[in-house]
Chains A and B, each alone.
Chain A
């Protein structure tokens, strides 16, 4: 008797609330309209046009690149008579901060990002301001990632990185184990055998260490001839993946690779550079961005060695992007700033100081002169760039790559923790990645 009206009342209120809520959408709702970009000549910039204006550049840093960026900004400020406000945030907070600022109508003008997925709709199509030929100044591989659905260029690949192993030369010498030449890389078996031999000879804690990162794991996948993603979605060959990753699992079980490190940081990224710097491992799989800090901080002789080969050779590409935001109050200046920061002169300075590889075609051709202590290592990475298979570039340019790589790390962690077998983990990974791809593709 009593119950019925209450239920009905609740239902009415709930329906009312839902209706109300649907009437007050929290922001813009999705529509299907797709703005078509007309081929553009770009807009020319006159001298002194921007005098006195201010630009905000939201940035994160890996260390040495900060100074290079500041140098380039100083030249820009002088040349254009503008002020650039460089805001540096930790990368882990940059995404949430940028989101909050975009939704609060207070976006920065220019931003540095590692992936464009989340922000593709907010980024300024650069062709409209810089002309459609602007894209031709850059290498094709890195350019794969910076086009939106309408084929507009929404970012500049500002620096390119290459994954690859570092070795502690002193430990190898002590153990009397040979290092490979740039022309003749190790195979995976050879590399791991050499690492274990050095571990036994020197008594180091581990034989091998790598960053806890799906991007670094993808290096090994690529060498075994497979990748998480291609243009059509999930692309992992599970057999190859098991062949590639099983040695890691075994080494962690045998304490030849730091297991605590892998399990101890949860879903956060964690670099193993400190393990290498503390001489606890003879071999460390990371990437070219470590060169700068090893030059400064390593208290022993180290070297980059070519990536080991399995089905394929070469490393795995990565990189960062520089993009202007559509919400910028001065998009023309923002676009011009992006252009300026990636001219031959600016990028050469940036690449040389930060220890990154250039993305400009002309610099890739002519080469970049690095710090003396870094040159040899950078040459190894550049050589590997040419050996890197296309599937790596294709995988890394997918918007879903970041979260898919995180899912891969989680699955491997399950195996390391002893919760499941690697084969089962790879089976479980597929639906996970497929749903991520579908979800991200639905926007």
Chain B
């Protein structure tokens, strides 16, 4: 974004000079503004989760809560069997993400790297279904799941959503950038199709896999409508279903709802920070030419 005359080894994306220049300052200012817009609502929620209903009701109360006591949290958490909901949420999220990564990457590979009859049709079909909102097919899907006896089980939440079209799409787009020569070379060396996929293609897809993993974690963790319909006994409730139940009591004050919201956000943020390092190294290590 700035003129860079000196032949520095770094690209223009990383400026080698020590002097702070206008362009750098401007960039940091814009970035910080974007970060503020992204984070203020979240921080405001966290602050609100420590406030009392009276503080929240005040038109222009102070920014910080009067006390940092965890009353709202203990009060909110004591209302239900929290450990079980967290466990279910984790099982569903991890199980569905593992399954998604496996079948999506398998499906993305031929769509990117093979020529076969029906390829375009299958790809467009996959894409097309991204456009079907669950609300539209809720009852038919439920009938299928009920016929398969998956209702009221964690499998009923793991399997139906695993074949995410978005995941196939992202992975396929990423695999397009893998040079065909790599795959050809493996074939010449006598590697089987599946082994080529496993040993050559998959390692190259780490960054994309990481991206799909985060999204899968995020989707499954926040899934609401489907678990609500499938999970019918408290034994298999996930966190959002429990939150909804909590929310449903018309009399629950907003401060407790904020506390619960924070509790529901935290695990995904932690998961993201964990994956974030994977992505960074993944992106740095891939030798995409």
A touches B in complex, CB < 8 A: yes
Does A366 sit at the interface, judged by CB under 8 A?
Answer: no
Known interface pairs A93-B228, A97-B228; A87-B234 also in contact (CB < 8 Å) = yes
B151 at the interface (CB under 8 A from A): yes
In chain B, positions 17-75 with a C-beta closer than 8 Å to chain A are 53-54, 57
CB within 8 Å of B: which of A57-85?
60-64, 66, 85
Beta-carbon contact of B145 and A104 below 8 Å: yes
- Chain B residues whose C-beta falls within 8 Å of the C-beta of A56 in the assembled complex: 232-233
The answer, yes or no, to whether A264 is at the interface (CB within 8 Å) is no
Residue count of chain A within 8 Å CB distance of chain B: 35
Judge whether A88 is part of the interface by a CB distance below 8 angstroms: yes
Q: How far is the CB of A223 from chain B (nearest CB, A)?
A: 25
CA A96 to CA B138, docked complex, whole Å: 9
Segment from B175-183, B210-218, B245-253 that makes contact with A: B245-253
A97 in contact with B250 given A103-B139, A103-B143 (CB within 8 Å): no
Contact A90 B151 (CB under 8 A): no
Tell me the complex Cα distance, A97–B251, Å. Answer: 22
A90-B142 contact, Cβ under 8 Å, with A97-B228, A104-B151, A106-B151: no
Q: Does B124 contact A (CB under 8 A)?
A: no
B122 at the interface (CB under 8 A from A): no
Contact present for B250 and A96 (CB under 8 Å): no
Q: Which residues of A contact B247 (CB under 8 A)?
A: 90
A289 to chain B, nearest CB (A): 8
Of B145, B232, B234, B247, the most chain A CB neighbours within 10 A belong to: B232
Contact indicator B139/A297 (Cβ below 8 Å): no
The listed residue (A89, A100, A278, A292) touching B248 by CB distance below 8 A is: A89
Q: Tell me whether B200 is interfacial, beta carbon within 8 Å.
A: no
How many angstroms from the CA of A63 to the CA of B138 in the assembled complex? 29
Chain B residues with Cβ below 8 Å from A85 are: 233-234
Contact of A297 among B147, B225, B245, B251 (CB under 8 A): B251
Residue B125 lies at the interface, judged by CB distance under 8 Å to chain A:
no
Whether A105 sits at the interface, judged by CB under 8 Å, is yes
- Give the docked Cα–Cα distance between A100 and B68 (Å): 43
- Tell me if A420 is interfacial: C-beta within 8 Å of chain B: no
Is the pair B146, A106 in contact by a Cβ cutoff of 8 Å? yes
**Is B251 a contact partner of A90 (Cβ separation < 8 A)?**
no
Cβ contact within 8 Å between A90 and B232: no
Q: When chains A and B are docked, how far (Å) is the Cα of A99 from the Cα of B229?
A: 10
State whether A62 touches B251 (Cβ < 8 A).
Answer: yes
A403 at the interface (CB under 8 A from B): no
Partner of A104, one of B54, B142, B250: B142
B229 cross-chain contacts in A, Cβ below 8 A: 96-97, 100-101
Q: Does B244 interact with chain A (Cβ within 8 Å)?
A: yes
Q: A103 with B233: in contact, given A89-B228, A90-B247, A90-B248 (CB under 8 Å)?
A: no
Q: B254 to chain A: which residues have CB within 8 Å?
A: 274
Give the complex CA separation of A64 and B146 in angstroms. 33
Contact in complex: A63, B251 (CB < 8 Å): yes
A271: chain B residues within 8 A (beta carbon): 250
Residues 229-262 of chain B, each 1 if its beta carbon lies under 8 Å from chain A, else 0: 1001110000000001101111111100000000
Q: Is residue A204 within 8 Å, beta carbon to beta carbon, of the partner chain?
A: no
> Is A182 positioned at the interface, with any CB of B under 8 Å from its CB?
no
Contact A88 B146 (CB under 8 A): no
User: Among residues 96 to 155 in chain A, which have CB atoms less than 8 Å away from a CB atom of chain B?
Assistant: 96-97, 99-101, 103-106, 108
Would you give the 0/1 interface string for B143-154, flagging 1 where the beta carbon is closer than 8 Å to chain A?
Answer: 101110001100
Structural contact, A297 and B253, CB atoms closer than 8 A: yes
Q: How far is the CA of A60 from the CA of B250 in the complex (A)?
A: 10
Task: Tell me if A91 is interfacial: C-beta within 8 Å of chain B.
Answer: yes
Q: Per-position contact with B for A229-244: 1 when CB-CB < 8 Å, else 0?
A: 0000000000000000
Q: Assess whether B234 is in contact with A60, with CB atoms less than 8 Å apart.
A: no
A273 at the interface (CB under 8 A from B): yes
B249 adjacent to A61 (CB under 8 Å): yes
Determine if A31 is an interface residue (Cβ-Cβ < 8 Å): no
Q: Min CB distance, B151 to chain A, in Å?
A: 5
The residue in chain A whose Cβ has the minimal distance to the Cβ of B242 is: A88
Which residues does chain A contribute within 8 Å of B253, judged by CB atoms? 297
Neighbouring A residues of B233 by C-beta, 8 Å:
56, 85, 87
Residue of B nearest to A63 (CB): B251
Q: Which residue of A lies closest to B142 (CB)?
A: A100
Q: Using Cβ atoms and an 8 Å threshold, which residues of chain A touch B232? A: 56, 87, 101, 106, 108
Name the distance in Å between A142's Cβ and chain B's nearest Cβ: 22
**Chain B residues closer than 8 Å to A103, beta-carbon distance:** 139, 142-143
Contact of A372 with B by CB under 8 A:
no
CB of B228 within 8 A of CB of A88, answer: no
A88-B251 in contact given A103-B139, A278-B57 (Cβ < 8 Å): no
Which chain A positions have C-beta within 8 A of B152?
A: 106
Would you give the 0/1 interface string for B70-102, flagging 1 where the beta carbon is closer than 8 Å to chain A? 000000000000000000000000000000000
Tell me, in angstroms, the Cα distance from A104 to B147 when the chains sit together. Answer: 7
Residues of A within 8 A of B225 (CB): 93
- Give A52 Cβ to nearest chain B Cβ, in Å: 18
Q: Is A174 an interface residue (CB 8 A)?
A: no
Separation in Å of the B278 CB from the closest CB of chain A?
36
Instruction: Return the chain B residue nearest A104 by Cβ.
Output: B146
In angstroms, Cα B250 to Cα A61, docked, is: 8
Q: Are B139 and A91 in contact (CB under 8 A)?
A: no
- Bitwise interface map of B from 117 to 128 toward A, beta carbon under 8 Å scored 1, else 0: 000000000000
| Distance between Cα atoms of A273 and B253 in the complex (Å) | 10
A residues neighboring B (CB under 8 Å): 56, 60-64, 66, 85, 87-93, 96-97, 99-101, 103-106, 108, 271, 273-274, 277-278, 292-293, 296-297, 299
- Supplied contacts A97-B229, A297-B253, 18 more A-B pairs, CB within 8 Å: A56-B233, A62-B251, A85-B233, A87-B233, A89-B228, A90-B245, A91-B248, A99-B139, A100-B142, A100-B229, A101-B142, A103-B142, A103-B143, A104-B143, A104-B145, A273-B251, A278-B53, A278-B57
Could you list which residues of chain B lie within 8 angstroms of chain A, going by C-beta atoms?
53-54, 57, 138-139, 142-143, 145-147, 151-152, 225, 228-229, 232-234, 244-245, 247-254
The 6 closest A-B pairs by CB, nearest first: A90-B248, A104-B146, A63-B251, A278-B57, A293-B251, A100-B142
5 A-B pairs within 8 Å (CB atoms) are namely A56-B232, A60-B248, A92-B248, A93-B244, A296-B251
